[in-house]
Amino acid sequence: MSFPDRPPPTPPVASEESLRSQASPAVAVLRELRALQGTGDEILEALGPRARVLQLEPGQFLLRRGEPNSCIYVVISGRLRVELDGGSSLLAQLGRGETVGELSLLTGSITTATVAAEERTQLLVLDEETFWWMVSSSHEFCVGLLVRSAERMRSNTDAVQANIALRRHFEQAALSDALTGLHNRRWLDQMLPRIVQRHLHSSEPLCVAIMDIDHFKRINDGFGHPAGDAVLTRVAQLVRDNLRPTDFAARMGGEEFALIFCQTARPGAVRAAERLREAIAGAPFDYQGRGLPQVTVSLGVAALERTSDPGQLLARADEVLYRAKEAGRNRTLWAGSDAVSLP
């Protein structure tokens, strides 16, 4: 019997037990393997002297990602684990009758995944010469190979799409506030510079407001932090309901929120802020069926200037918010104004 020019990568060295039983399986066994179904008995009988059997113990590697491969392996018994790298990313589990190694053999490229035995596994090893002999000798073997390759591609595509969806989910979670569902401070730090730069480049107006819930500590102290969380969640919902689709909102932390009014000059931003303030002041708040004190907010609005950067824009809005708090809360104040909007 012939052996492939290059043995499987270390550590999948066949045990002494397997070395004593290297003879190819009987035709009856080969006939039952999915990879060889439909192949005539005459070809299967001729395959015996050309192929060999390799036995792997649990944990032994068959293929390592990034290494060359010149064989196709058919699982006779046991199970293989296919993973991207080091056991962290499971791609597939291969059982009786399934094949591995055909892609790197066909393309003459290095292996793109690592393959190891999950349990004691017997493999039929077809070297490159034997593989191409099978291709030229059996139409059924070729058809089966095409079908399995298509199934493998579909499975890999599904896995890639699932990984993309999972990555997007984690990316979204990393930029969202877990309690309110609004954007978080990390999102604000990443996106505000881009938004500012875009508006400066297009010479379009942009305004930012910082909003703070008035006397929020009294709610936490008097009714408990879960009630405070309920207030934050309700305020966030009112923010979503009252901002325009082109506006953005982010929870900066605690009871403080940032509002971004894109393509909006100061008068429009002040009207939008006032609309939100009035909606919150007129909304009922409760926790577990128990009414809470009326919730109000204060807002400071600042407009983008040609010489300002995102940090300066937020700082000016925060300064105006402080003035609104000093003026009595539950009101909107804008940079450069001498008066405040009274409730």
* Non-local CB neighbours of 202 within 8 Å, separated by 6+ positions: none
Amino acid at 85: D
Give me the residue label for tokens 């950067």: 309
CA distance 262 to 61: 56
Catalytic annotation present for 17: no
Instruction: Kindly state the tokens that stand for 234.
Output: 């309700």
CA distance 220 to 301: 27
CA distances from 104 to 8, 55, 72, 304 (A): 13, 21, 9, 57
Could you say which of 255, 278, 305, 326 is catalytic?
255
CA distances from 72 to 91, 166, 185, 336 (A): 18, 32, 52, 76
Q: Which residues pair with 114 in a beta bridge?
A: 83
Catalytically annotated residues: 255
